[in-house]
Structure 1
Amino acid sequence: MSGALLLGIAGLALLDSLIPATIVAVTLILVAAPRHPGLLAGAAVAGAAATVFVVGAALFLTAGAAAGAVTGISVALRFVAFGAAGVALAVAGLRRFRERPRRAIVLPPWFTVWTAVPFGVLLTAADLPNAFPYFVAIERLVSSGVGIGTGLAVLAGYAVVYCLPCPVGAVLARVTARIHSGSNRFDPAAAQG
């Protein structure tokens, strides 16, 4: 396996990691969890990483049969994914014009470590149809003819890079929350309100 191929796949993984769904969900878990927010967020990230690795491994190992299917449906998936994203953004934009009271974000009581892992799995699985860098990386691995062990190791690394922004966002969310709570102690208006 060439260094250029590995660097290209790492770049694709970094590009794929910037999809906000997982980052925002993990940050919301950290901010809204009443107890053990780091453990809950870590469980969700573990579910996301497992999904990226397992789906990638399945595609890589069944590449002969999947190559034709991925090529044929990739254009259709792009139209569906971007069409749905466009409609969702338009609806969300129109809803922003309405005034409505905002409630605090609270996790339901059933959201535990045991439900955070499947949550991460479902969140990432729902996000995979528009993960074009992911499919390009798998196609590059298959077309380069790397061995099974090397390919699976690269896909494990891809899963790690994919989930890297989650802990970074988590740390930033916690730091921001602490700064905000600390600044409220010194703000007379916040103390009275």
Structure 2
Amino acid sequence: MSPEDIKTAIEFIESRIGETEHVTERFDAVMKLGGIVEQMPGSASSLAERLPDFDGFLEKENGSLGDANFDQQLLIPISILTNSMRDVITKQAPEAIENFKMTYEKYNPMMLGYTLLAYLSQSSTKNAMKENFESKAAIVMNVIGQLIYLEAFGSGLLKNNNRFNLELLSEKCCIINEKIDGWRREFGV
């Protein structure tokens, strides 16, 4: 890839991440970012700033559903994987890419998505969601959204560009959204 091709790709990605209404275009942009990050000249901190700020969101929302298992099994792994992704983008070092690869294998976004679904299937979760429902629903939806971003980036970076897991996570997002909407109606929120 020539320097001009890389510059064009970066401009395309910058224009698409977080600025398009077409969700698939956003994920394609993140996937492309993962695919060219090794070849990007200089700092890509402007790109990193446009990616969702998962830790900032959690801090703003007082970050949890109030369940230590949720934090341990989902929030902490997603935060670690997100920070590893940011390191790849900002440092652009082979070590950062290797760290991301190891982290991605340990905390696979698809498996974390299944963990989230299992968590939401428990009656204790439904009961816990009643108090401060909208805040907790926002956390759940942010978790699945972050998993989709991480999967898109990982698919591009690890050179498989396989959309299978990305599409599965998108399907899980719809299931989770339906569950949240059902609870919203049931709770009268």
Larger-gyration structure (1/2): 1
Length-normalised TM-score, structure 1: 0.29
Compare the two structures and name the one with the higher helix fraction.
1
